Amino acid sequence: MASLWNREKLRQLADNARASASKLGTQLQQGVQNAQQQMPGRTLSLSGNGEGSQAPQPAAAAGGVPRTASSGLSSLSPDEAIHLLQSQNKAVRERLHAAQAAAEENARLKADVQQLCQQMEAEQVRRAAQQQEAMAALQAAQQQHAGEVQQLRQQAAQLKGAAAAAASAAEAELESTREALRQQRQQNVQLRGAAAEAEALRRQLAEAQEAAQQRAAAAAAEDGAAPQGASAAAAAAAIAENERLTEEVQRLMQQLQEVQAAAVPGAEASAAAAAPGEAEGRVAALQAELAAAQAQVQVLLNEREVAVLDQQQRAEAAASEAAALRQQLEQQRQEAAAAAEALLREQEERQRGLAADNAALRQAVVALEGAAAQQAQRAQQELEAQAAELAAAAQQELRQQAQCAEEEAARERQQLLAAQADRQALTQAVRHLEEALEQQAAAAAAAQEEQQQRLHALDQQLASTAAAASPLVRGGG
């Protein structure tokens, strides 16, 4: 708005200057024409009879002023000549007053132009400060954006490291769980083997007890029908068989203890001398312990499976979180890339706008130089060309502002360039106006000098006419 107001003010000043120059030139031309028309240019006779006879010339004797034929006022009466000279003198004074008023008007216009130049300089300084503030804000925003991008990258790297550490920990825990499961399977295989061996020993013990009972029954039956010697032999055989069975039971119990020690650590080793029934009880207890151990092993297996499932779920959750983080990082990277690309496009558009402004400025400078060369020929044509050029520059700036209305920084730059162009144009207009005013002032001074000379000549002529008319008036009386 300030730029448009400055242009309107400049246009008004140019119009006023043009009107004043035209008016002053017209007045000067009219004054010169009137002076030329009113100056006597004819050769008239002083005779009043119309016969060509020449009257006496008393003025030459009385006043010493010869009456020449080139005076031009001889055909007028003294009163008419005096009145004509007074009219010419009054007209000359009026033209002088008009010239002085025009000079004062030109001085006032010059002061207005200087004030407008100062206002435009202040406006240019203000716009330059606004542009610097906008550039500083843009640089601060760019630095803040770069810091945010760097912080996001650091956070992404930290999250990636945490995800990798969590994945490594999950893999290590899963591997340890697998190793524990393998060891548990091996222990289960060993326990199953020990249980099978204990079951075989139990069957062997049962078979030995049954065989001992059969032998005891057979020995008892033989004791009732055989003689006393046969009974002693049978008893000795039974004792030997019992000793053999006892040794067999001890051997089996020893094997059972070894199996029990291998299968269930911490079992008591006091069953070496136990009876076959106690051994069977121990075998049953061993089977119960084996069953409990198997149940515990199954519980451990279930817990391990649950732990494995939990670890798998954690690993899957960690993988999902890592995937989400990667997706978020990718999205942030894309957003940062899009923002950088948008900023780059904006900078490119700004550069193109600046290039267009520079080209327009160069064109305006060339046009101004051409206008200055043309204006050197004639002041009025110069002012008209300057006004047309200012109008073209204003229209061009309006078009540029309409095209770049969406970009504040570019618009400020264009307004600043337009202000500089206006300042240059105004400076040239002021210079040309000063030249025109100087020329007009010189012409006015020359015209004034000429009028003064003519006025002086008219005064002398009036004095001579009055002096010449005095004897005539006296003679006529």
In degrees, rounded to 5, the angle at the alpha carbon of residue 62 between the alpha carbons of residues 56 and 67 is: 55
From residue 31, give the alpha-carbon distance in Å to each of 7, 93, 447. Answer: 35, 11, 9
Q: What is the per-residue pLDDT for 145?
A: 81
Q: What is the per-residue pLDDT for 33?
A: 65
Q: What is the per-residue pLDDT for 109?
A: 80
Instruction: Give the mean pLDDT of 50-57.
Output: 37
Instruction: Give the mean pLDDT of 52-68.
Output: 37
In the predicted structure, residue 164 carries a pLDDT above the cut 70: yes
Average pLDDT, the chain: 70
Per the document, the length of the chain is 477
In the predicted structure, residue 279 carries a pLDDT above the cut 70: no
Measure the CA–CA gap between 68 and 74, rounded to whole angstroms. 9
Measure the CA–CA gap between 459 and 77, rounded to whole angstroms. 16
Measure the CA–CA gap between 76 and 84, rounded to whole angstroms. 9
Q: Which of 47-51, 137-141, 307-311, 338-342 has the highest mean pLDDT?
A: 137-141
Q: Which of 245-249, 340-344, 384-388, 400-404 has the highest mean pLDDT?
A: 340-344
Residues 117-154 have pLDDT tens digits of 888 888 888 888 888 888 898 888 888 888 888 888 88
Q: What is the per-residue pLDDT for 286?
A: 65
Q: What is the per-residue pLDDT for 435?
A: 80
- Residue 216: which pLDDT band, with cuts at 50, 70 and 90? low
Cβ–Cβ under 8 Å, residues 279 and 253: yes
| Residue 236 vs residue 258, higher pLDDT | 258
Measure the CA–CA gap between 189 and 357, rounded to whole angstroms. 91
Q: What is the per-residue pLDDT for 418?
A: 74
Q: Residue-wise over 45-75: b if at least 16 C-beta within 10 A, else e?
A: ebeeeeeeeeeeeebeeebebebeeebbbbe
- Residue 48: which pLDDT band, with cuts at 50, 70 and 90? very low
In the predicted structure, residue 165 carries a pLDDT above the cut 60: yes
Instruction: Give the mean pLDDT of 400-419.
Output: 69
* 3-state class percentages of the chain: helix first, strand second, coil last, to nearest 5: 90, 0, 10
Instruction: Give the mean pLDDT of 166-189.
Output: 80
Measure the CA–CA gap between 430 and 424, rounded to whole angstroms. 10
Rounded to 10 deg, the angle between the 78-225 and 2-38 helix axes is: 170
Q: What is the per-residue pLDDT for 441?
A: 73
Instruction: Give the mean pLDDT of 317-321.
Output: 78
In the predicted structure, residue 82 carries a pLDDT above the cut 80: no
In the predicted structure, residue 300 carries a pLDDT above the cut 80: no
Task: Tell me if residue 282 falls in helix, strand or coil.
Answer: helix
In the predicted structure, residue 471 carries a pLDDT above the cut 80: no
The amino acid at residue 407 is E
In the predicted structure, residue 287 carries a pLDDT above the cut 50: yes
Residues 348-365 have pLDDT tens digits of 887 787 778 777 777 876
CA distance between the termini of the chain: 80
Measure the CA–CA gap between 177 and 181, rounded to whole angstroms. 6
| Residue 355 vs residue 472, higher pLDDT | 355
Measure the CA–CA gap between 355 and 347, rounded to whole angstroms. 12
Residues 6+ apart with CB under 8 A from 394: 4, 7
Residues 108-118 have pLDDT tens digits of 888 887 888 88
Q: What is the per-residue pLDDT for 147?
A: 86
Q: Residue-wise over 420-429: b if at least 16 C-beta within 10 A, else e?
A: bbbbebbebb
- Residue 405: which pLDDT band, with cuts at 50, 70 and 90? low
Q: Which of 38-52, 389-403, 449-463 has the highest mean pLDDT?
A: 449-463
From residue 245, give the alpha-carbon distance in Å to each of 154, 215, 248, 266. Answer: 82, 11, 5, 28
Enclosing H/E stretch for 12: helix 2-38
